[in-house]
Structure 1
Amino acid sequence: MTVNSPEPASSTLATRLRNFSIVLVAVALSVALFLGLRTQATTVSVTDLAKNSTPFEVAMANENPTLIEFYANWCTTCMAMAPEIKKLEQEFDDRVNFVMLNVDNTKWLPEIAKYRVDGIPHFVFLNPNGEAIASAIGEIPGNVLHSNLDALLAEKPLPFTTTKGQMSRFKAPTAPSDSSSSDPRSHGAQVVD
């Protein structure tokens, strides 16, 4: 018969420290995993932005400058810009109206025509009187929007304004033309045989 002798006190202390370290690492990893999953779950969507945006009618009446974004839920550029728009909303909270108008909603057809929306995202900057002072179409860097909003609040000219970029001029003919002499794809250039 063998008799087990008790472990030395230093060995027991080492085992306890090792177990305690394992528990600490497990807790730290669990917290990191939880925070990582939570961060992924809080992505911003254009639908969320639209739900929380200032209603158009309120924006036109409250005498704050306004940024209108014409968007669609299927617009990948609109989706890509959503986190940046959310940051701007948080920074300019209560000083600038952020209005989201869905181009797929026929309710907004008068505004789509008024602001000449022909591409999305389409941003319209309105002064405190509700007058459009500039517009921009497409993916706009956050720092450019930020600078424009700062200027809008200060009632100064916006530093970054664009229309639609390069475009071709077209003048509709008043009478049918001979198709052999011009091609509508030429944008008015003469066709030489």
Structure 2
Amino acid sequence: MRSSCSRTSSYVACRSSPVVVRRRSSPSCRASASPTDGSSPEPSDGPSGTSLAVAACSMLAGVGLFVADRTGVMGGEAAQKTPPLSELAAMAVPFDAAMSKTSRPTVVEFYADWCSMCKEMAPETFVAETGFKDEVDFVMINVDNPKWLPEMQEYGVDGIPEFVFLDEKKDVKGITVGLLPKGALSENMKALREDQGELPFVKNALLARREAIKQAEAAAAAEAAAVEMEMTPVGPRAHSWE
């Protein structure tokens, strides 16, 4: 089962379940040059069958290691090329700078360094962040920094990673929470860049619910302010001499 990161109370918590990994055995090379009739092998001036078999296995193993190294199987080439979250955040556009621009759309990712799902999304984040750097501002906000609490409340962050997609006017076009399918983040950013309207991978129901909550909170605050004004005592009226 995959791990999940969710917001509980006033903080974000990450829970993970154990993952069972099954390892496949590698093929092995075996060679036997001993006769089966019990007789002794005849001497030979050339290389024996065993030597040839061992040499062949060594050659195949060398080729396999070369191919594995070139394709990144051995060292995890993708993992080596993807920077850690802290470096991705350092590469990102500062929030205030992105919000002050009206010429570009913006994507804001809420993340945490300890979030396993954020780490799992890191390769997709890296591809999207670098691929659209000249067209879409990519912002990363660490939820562990209390400085960003107002932004977390504004966008209703209750789970990470959360991606908020903003158009050039900084209006919310869509929100996603949790892992996205491979390529989905880039597809959303492409649609955002081209102003295609509805993004292909968003949770419109989540966005609508959050908007309804914000409107309800605003209405409640306005009602409370009106009640407070009604209860405020009025001072003595001023009179003028005529």
Q: What band does the TM-score fall into relative to the shorter chain?
A: 0.5 to 0.7
In structure 2, the CA distance between the partners of 1:33 and 1:134, relative to structure 1 (3 Å rule), is: closer
- Equivalent position of 2:95 in the other structure: 56
- Equivalent position of 1:151 in the other structure: 191
- Cα deviation 1:25-61 (Å, max 9, x = unaligned): xxx9999898888865733211111111000011111
Q: Structure 2: any 5+ residue segments left out of the alignment?
A: 1-62, 210-242
Task: Give the conservation status (yes or no) of the 8 Å contact 1:137–1:164.
Answer: no
- Equivalent position of 1:142 in the other structure: 182
Q: Which moved more, 1:145-154 or 1:123-132?
A: 145-154
- Equivalent position of 2:152 in the other structure: 112
Q: Give, in whole Å, the separation in 1 of the partners of 2:75 and 2:134.
A: 27
- Equivalent position of 2:234 in the other structure: none
Q: Which amino acid aligns with 1:92?
A: F
Q: Give, in whole Å, the separation in 2 of the partners of 1:145 and 1:84.
A: 7
In structure 2, the CA distance between the partners of 1:103 and 1:151, relative to structure 1 (3 Å rule), is: same
Q: Secondary structure at the match of 1:142?
A: coil
Task: Give the conservation status (yes or no) of the 8 Å contact 1:68–1:99.
Answer: yes
Aligned length: 166
Q: Which amino acid aligns with 2:173?
A: I
Q: Which amino acid aligns with 1:44?
A: P
Task: Give the conservation status (yes or no) of the 8 Å contact 2:118–2:161.
Answer: yes
- Equivalent position of 2:162 in the other structure: 122
Q: Give, in whole Å, the separation in 2 of the partners of 1:36 and 1:142.
A: 19
- Equivalent position of 1:181 in the other structure: none
- Cα deviation 1:46-96 (Å, max 9, x = unaligned): 111111100001111123111100001110000001111101122112101
Q: Find 1:131's aligned residue among 171, 175, 179.
A: 171
Q: Structure 1: any 5+ residue segments left out of the alignment?
A: 1-27, 168-193
For residues 16-165 of structure 1, the aligned pairs below 5 Å read 40=77, 42=80, 43-62=82-101, 63-160=103-200, 161-162=202-203, 163-164=205-206
Give the CA RMSD over aligned residues: 3.7
Q: Secondary structure at the match of 1:101?
A: strand
TM (normalized to structure 2)?
A: 0.53
Q: CA deviation at 1:155?
A: 1.2
Q: CA deviation at 1:132?
A: 1.3
Task: Give the conservation status (yes or no) of the 8 Å contact 1:66–1:125.
Answer: yes
Q: CA deviation at 1:159?
A: 3.4
- Cα deviation 1:85-121 (Å, max 9, x = unaligned): 1011221121011100011100100100000000000
Task: Give the conservation status (yes or no) of the 8 Å contact 1:148–1:158.
Answer: no
Q: Which runs of 4+ in 1 moved over 6 A?
A: 28-39
Task: Give the conservation status (yes or no) of the 8 Å contact 1:85–1:142.
Answer: no
